[in-house]
Amino acid sequence: MIIAMFAMTLLTIIVGLIALKARFASVKNGSLPIKYFRLMQGENTPEIVIKTTRCFNNLFEVPILFYVICLLYLVTNSETISAQIIAWLFVGFRVLQAYIHLSYNNVRHRMLSFFAAIICILLLWIILLVKII
């Protein structure tokens, strides 16, 4: 589980760097003034800045449930092969969702990968509860 957690952390860092690069590029090419970033407000924000920022922010929402359940598996010494597989599926679906978001951004495809990741989280919680109870 810890390696899957590291993979999610790495994904978050990579997407954060992509967002940072988009911000620097937008300031450098003049499509955004630097003062935009004081409050993250302004007009005519480039799509790439909005998209990369939202993708980065998404990695601090549902994945927190992933980190919590993985820690519970570790603390209770309850790791199983099935839980590890599901944890890696979660990571895979989140990588897919980030890829879709940052590339062709098809909302339907993004939503399907999001929903699949949510199912993984639910399964991880159910498996742990059944094992502990």
Three-state SS sequence of 104-131: CCCHHHHHHHHHHHHHHHHHHHHHHHHH
Give the pLDDT confidence score for residue 30 in this predicted structure: 85
How far, in Å, CA of 101 to CA of 104, rounded?
Answer: 7
Dist. CA 76–CA 92, nearest whole Å = 25
Using an 8 Å Cβ cutoff, are 70 and 120 in contact?
Answer: no
**Every domain of the chain and the residues it spans:** 2-132
Q: According to the CATH classification, is domain 2-132 in 1.20.120.550?
A: yes
Confidence (pLDDT) at 102:
97
pLDDT, residue 45, reads 87
| pLDDT value for 34 | 81
Report the predicted TM-score, pTM, of the whole model to 2 decimal places. 0.92
CA pair distance 97, 112, nearest whole angstrom: 8
Which residues of the chain fall below pLDDT 70?
none
> Which amino acid is present at 132?
I
For residue 129, what are the CA distances in angstroms to 52, 73, 83?
36, 10, 12
pLDDT at 15: 98
80 touches 74 (CB < 8 A): no
Task: Choose among 37, 15, 33, 18: nearest CA to 94.
Answer: 15
